[in-house]
Amino acid sequence: MRKRPSKGDELVFLPLGGVGEIGMNLALYGFGPEDDRRWLMVDCGITFASEFDEPGVDLIFPDIRFIEEERKSLAGIVITHAHEDHFGALLELWPRLEAPLYMTPFAAGLLEAKAAAEPGARQIPVTRFTAGDRLTIGDFEVEAISVAHSIPEAVSLAIRTSLGCVIHTGDWKVDPTPVTGWATDFDRFRALGDEGVRALVNDSTNVLRDGSSPSERDVAESLAEIIAKAPARVGVTTFASNIGRIRAIAEAAQKADRNVVVMGRAMRRAIDVARECGLLDGLPEFLDDQAYGWLPRDKVVALLTGSQGESRAALARIAAGDHRHVAMSPGDMMIFSSRTIPGNEKSVNAIMNALAAKGVKIVTDRDGLVHVSGHPRRGEMRMLYEAVRPQVSVPVHGEALHLAVHADFARSLGVPEIGHALNGRMLRLAPGPVAEVDEVFTGRLFRDGSILTTPDKSGASARRKASFAGVITVALVIDAKGTALADPAIVLIGIPEEDARGKLFRDTVEVAASATLDGLPRPKRKDTAVVADAVKRAVRGAVNERWGKKPIVEVTVTVV
């Protein structure tokens, strides 16, 4: 780290994901003059595709073309914790950057396990660090500060340059009694505040909620009480990465003289890494799903993936009745120890309804304290602002409403300046007042099967349109003079069989195609592109007239 700033040096903040949205977190800090900046990346996460907006897309990544072009100036990548929205894009995107990577042991273990489970994935070299460590990464000195969150070994980062200190909180909360992992180190935050903090780049997820979140220990006690009273089998679905919750469930099962049965590869992978890191010490080994069937109904707690309604997860298969080893019966209980991510409500409700139809009792956070957020409410945020006393507040990790409320809240606490960040907006944090100094391209990349591509090349938009209005293909065979040699070959996908008058849509399409070809002047019939375009417009118009929707129409013309 340079001890003194040189002429023209600036400290800038540039998010490529995670600001104006929740998920897909990727932030850049730049230091140096405008034409020669060095960069530090914090986090590299994903977001999940919507079946409505991006049908068929598996995962969404930030488009990193800006930093890819600047990769020679990228000093390193630091991961704050191992949630998918903070580290899930590494396997796909790190090979494009190949910068030094820094992670805590638990996060590094999960990354290694993910790579081992994904054919063709590269094993990424990682430098491990822990809370309290200081890393010199190019022109940046990075100090890791322990924070409580719904995953072990989450850290905030104090990023120091010769132009001052910035605290990047990552995801955090106040939890004085975590089940496992770290508590938030307010002594260190206060010490940093005493030194002077230029900017606090802070989590906005729960800024709409007053007060403070309950502790994980409170959730553990509630789960223990519910499981102890259950007369038959108990299933608990939660995020696989929430090792504190998994430990609480296992302790509750142990007290109730029940065995824990683990279902789902992601759950098993996270548990294996947690055991290697000593986070599940003192607990008996968990059983695999093959043991489920021979355990008495009052001696089992099933720990499952699928809390977000994922169709291929263990919970969905159990609800559908097609799991090879596991079934639930009337009188059994399923506890949803998680929050439904916005957009997943329909699929989660479908699973709950399927289980309820089997006579399974459903327990959610509406019924008791079975889940608590890993993000700070306003009472907790106030504590951090009072400890750090930043000159600038930069709200991140939230949608537009979260960011606006957070900005007003920071002002009400006396923070002198607000940095209004958005994906692609470059903010100068120092020297001088915070200000927007540039805007760069940001976007998304879709992982669609084995392909990683941009949205416009993915075909997802056409799939969405096809899901609403169907697809019609018309194949015409003509001779060199443009005369039809056969009736049009027609395929209708997703189109009603008949219109409101009872006329077959196939007949409507055939008439429109044939009449259009016959109506074209002979010179134009020799141009296959002209014929295809005319038939396409005629078919779409005819179907729209009788249906009120415009399907995708594809026409091929073959000259024999």
Indicate the domain borders of the chain. 10-211+373-448, 216-363, 470-559
pLDDT of 459 over the 80 cut: no
Distances (CA, A) of 23 to 26, 56, 194, 407, 444: 9, 19, 32, 19, 12
State residue 1's pLDDT score.
56
Domain 216-363 falls under CATH 3.30.70.100: no
**Cα separation, 452 vs 458, whole angstroms:** 8
- For the chain, the C-alpha Rg in angstroms (whole number) is 28
State residue 467's pLDDT score.
81
What's the whole-number mean pLDDT along residues 374-381?
96
Copy the structure tokens of residue 547. 């249906």
What's the whole-number mean pLDDT along residues 408-420?
98
Q: According to CATH, what is the number of the domain 470-559? A: 3.10.20.580
Residues 39-96: tens digit of each pLDDT: 999 999 998 876 667 767 778 899 999 999 999 999 999 999 999 999 999 999 999 9
State residue 163's pLDDT score.
97
pLDDT of 2 over the 60 cut: no
Least confident of 116-120, 385-389, 544-548: 116-120
pLDDT of 205 over the 60 cut: yes
**DSSP character string of 231-294:** SS-EEEE--TT-HHHHHHHHHHHHHTT-EEEEESHHHHHHHHHHHHTTTTTTSPPPEEGGGGGG
**pTM for this structure?**
0.88
Q: Which helix (H) or strand (E) holds 336?
A: strand 333-336
State residue 454's pLDDT score.
83
Long-range contacts of 344-348 (CB under 8 A, 24+ apart): 344/308, 344/309, 346/309, 347/308, 347/309, 347/310, 347/311, 347/316, 348/307, 348/308, 348/309
**For residue 472, what are the β-bridge partners?**
492, 553
Dihedral (C-alpha) 282, 244, 259, 252: value to the nearest 10 degrees? 90
In SS3 terms, 33-55 reads as CCCCCEEEEECCCCEECCCCCCC
What's the whole-number mean pLDDT along residues 174-186?
92
What's the whole-number mean pLDDT along residues 329-352?
90
pLDDT of 170 over the 90 cut: yes
- For the chain, what percent of residues have pLDDT higher than 70? 98
Contact 156, 185 (CB under 8 A): no
Q: According to CATH, what is the number of the domain 10-211+373-448? A: 3.60.15.10
Closest CA to 285 of 254, 330, 314, 309: 254
What's the whole-number mean pLDDT along residues 336-365?
91
What's the whole-number mean pLDDT along residues 13-19?
97
Residues 213-267: tens digit of each pLDDT: 999 999 999 999 999 999 999 999 999 999 999 999 999 999 999 999 999 889 9
State residue 55's pLDDT score.
67
Copy the structure tokens of residue 114. 């993910």
Residues 390-401: tens digit of each pLDDT: 999 999 999 999
**Cα separation, 246 vs 172, whole angstroms:** 19
Contact 477, 484 (CB under 8 A): yes
What's the whole-number mean pLDDT along residues 100-123?
93
What letter would DSSP give residue 209?
Answer: S
Q: Which helix (H) or strand (E) holds 438?
A: strand 435-439
3-state secondary structure at position 384:
helix
Residues 6+ apart with CB under 8 A from 70: 37, 39
Distances (CA, A) of 497 to 261, 285, 462, 476, 500: 49, 57, 22, 22, 10
Dihedral (C-alpha) 410, 80, 219, 263: value to the nearest 10 degrees? 140
**Cα separation, 336 vs 306, whole angstroms:** 10
**Greater confidence, 82 or 449?**
82
Burial (CB count within 10 angstroms: exposed 0-12, middle 13-18, buried 19+), residue 100: middle
Residues 290-334: tens digit of each pLDDT: 999 899 999 999 999 989 888 888 899 999 998 888 999 999 999
**Cα separation, 455 vs 463, whole angstroms:** 12
What's the whole-number mean pLDDT along residues 17-45?
96
State residue 226's pLDDT score.
97
Owner of token pair 């109506």: 519
The terminus-to-terminus CA distance of the chain in angstroms comes to 73
**Cα separation, 54 vs 511, whole angstroms:** 34
State residue 50's pLDDT score.
67
Contact 409, 256 (CB under 8 A): no
Using pLDDT thresholds of 50, 70 and 90, give the confidence band for residue 490.
very high
